[in-house]
Structures are given as structure tokens and as C-alpha cells.
Amino acid sequence: MTAALPCLYSFRRCPYAMRARLALAAAGLQPGRDFALREVVLKAKPPELLAASAKGTVPVLVLPDGAVLEESLAIIRWALDQADPQGWLTGWSSAENGLIETLLAQNDGPFKHHLDRFKYPDRYPGETSAEHRLAALAILREWSARLEPGGWLLGDRPALADWALLPFVRQFRLADPERFDQEPDLQLLQRWLLRFLEDPAFAAVMDAPWAQRSAWRSPSWLYHLALRAEWNSARQEGSYRRSTRGQSLEEVGFIHLSAAHQVDATAQRFFGDVPPGELLLLTIDPPRLAAAGLEVRLELAPGTGELFPHLYGPLLLEAVLLAQPFPH
């Protein structure tokens, strides 16, 4: 039997998750081989993530002994403890280590505060986006000045501080790239960011197997493949009543569902010819079906010898957590 692997819950576009993935990669750890990676969607967090870490943020690393690291910096330090061949955290003086801590605190504190209020004004009514942009820019100018001697925050080689701040500066730029690129007094920082954006190490953690476009399928959830047009009609009608392709709930008596591990084979068997974009994977929350008195039975599917979940009744829209294009 193979030993259980650490498990990382991650979200492709999250800057905290990006820096954790960068550190794991720098330590030479690989998803699939050294740890399992579960890509999540923030609006439908899998129950396994919430059971491990009730605060529900990513990244989270669950270790085989049950220990849970629920802060990106804790995950980074764990990774670098395994191996730190690039010297993210090794080879610095105690004064330099102090500076790394200060930069991390400045990023995760004031910079992130202003970044959010600049980038997502709708989420912060009463706040002035432009003022927060200026406050964030003042911090960026400070960081830019630090790059003067060697091109990195602490001199001529990157430290943890560089890797940990870069995904957030990238986010700042993404809010208004043209304006960022033309911003005066920021040339060194613009170059520092560009070098990161073009770095294969960054590209690697933004692509499979480090970052999947599709969410991890939880064994706690159930799934159903639906034609987009039929799902759209169901949303107008208030409930979904297709059993499987070409058959209704009324004709069959139940709706065919799949467990997480059965989705791919079901898609191949019944939906292989559906044009891209026309097939959706519905993620279903069983407790919501149960709360509405709807029964799911595990029953043998003829010809497969396999048990499949069957929903005896209509699929409530409220029980569908996600409807995502399949394959993604």
C-alpha cells in the first residue's frame, strides 16, 4: 500500500495559492507524485476542505499525520523545510530575514488592503478606489526603490519576499495593465514583475498539473451531465427533469447521476459527440436533496455491473452548486 500523500487545496488564480505552489515547486515537489492537488472553486468549496479548515480559504495543505497548514506562508515554510535549493530562505543574515518578514507583513497587510479596495470597489461601498490605488502605489514605489542595487528586493538574488509579493503586484497590474505599465517612478518594479511573468517557473504553476481548469471532483458530491440547452430551460422552469440524454424523468422514473469517479466514463459513453461548450457538468450537493425529501438510491446499471446513484424526483436548482462546461 502506498503511503497517503499531503493534500493541497488550491485555486488557480489566488495569489496566496500561487505563492504556495511556487514554493512547493521550488522545493522540487510535484503534484501527483509528492502531494495530491485539489483545485477548488471558491463559490463551492468541497466539504473535505471545510472539514480540514473551517475558515475556508485557500491554500490549505493537509499533511498525512492530519496536521493542517491553513496559511500560505506556513505552507511555504513547510515546503522550504523539505528543500530550499534556490535559497529562498537560506543564506540570509538575521537583518535580511527581518526585512523579509517586514516585506511579507507589508504585503499581506496594508498592500493587500489597498489592492482589494482599489480592484474591487463594488465590494467596498463608501471607499474611494482611486485613493486606495494611490496608497498601494506609494508602497510599490518603496519596493521599487529596493530593487535598485541588484534587481531583487534583497539584492542580487530572489528571496522568499520576492516570490511571495510578486503574485500580488501582478494582481495590482491586472486591474489596469496599461496604466500600470506607464506609471512613472516604477521602472525597476515593472521590470521585476515582467521578469516574473515571463519566468517558466511561474508559467508552470499556472498550468496543469499545478493548476487545473476544472475543479476537483469530491466523493462527497454527486454529478450529472446535462445539455446546456436543457439546463437553461430547467432554470427557467424551476427544476431539472431530464433523466439522461434523450430521456425524461417521467419516462425513466429517476435521474441518472454519477459519483466523482464515474463522470469521465459516463461522458464518453453517452455524450462523446456533443459539440464543445454544449455539455455541462452539474455538481450536486446531496444534503440539499435530502433536506427536500428527495431520495438517491445506489443501483446497478444494466450491463456495467456498477452501482450508480439514481435520483428519485426532480433535480432542485438549489441543490446544484456549480454548472460548468465539460470538459473545461
Q: What does the binding site for ligand GSH look like in residue numbers (CB under 6 A)?
A: 11, 14, 16, 42, 56-59, 71-73
Q: How far is the CB of 9 from ligand GSH (least distance, A)?
A: 9
Question: Rounded to the nearest 10 degrees, what angle do helices 160-175 and 187-197 cross at?
Answer: 100
Q: How far is the CB of 257 from ligand GSH (least distance, A)?
A: 27
User: How crowded is residue 170: how many other Cβ atoms within 10 Å of its Cβ?
Assistant: 17
Q: How far is the CB of 71 from ligand GSH (least distance, A)?
A: 5
Pick 75 or 279: Cβ nearer ligand GSH: 75
Pick 71 or 230: Cβ nearer ligand GSH: 71
Pick 60 or 147: Cβ nearer ligand GSH: 60
53 contacts 61 by C-beta, under 8 angstroms = no
Q: How far is the CB of 46 from ligand GSH (least distance, A)?
A: 13
Phi, psi of 61 (to 5 degrees): -120, 120
User: How crowded is residue 239: how many other Cβ atoms within 10 Å of its Cβ?
Assistant: 14
Pick 119 or 256: Cβ nearer ligand GSH: 119
Q: How far is the CB of 42 from ligand GSH (least distance, A)?
A: 4
221 contacts 285 by C-beta, under 8 angstroms = yes
Pick 6 or 314: Cβ nearer ligand GSH: 6
Closest CA to 268 of 327, 315, 222, 213: 327
Pick 73 or 227: Cβ nearer ligand GSH: 73
Q: How far is the CB of 73 from ligand GSH (least distance, A)?
A: 6
17 contacts 59 by C-beta, under 8 angstroms = yes
d(CA 181, CA 139): 16
What's at 111, amino acid-wise? F
CA atoms within 13 A on the CB side of 256: 22
C-alpha dihedral, 272 to 274 to 277 to 279, nearest 10°: -80
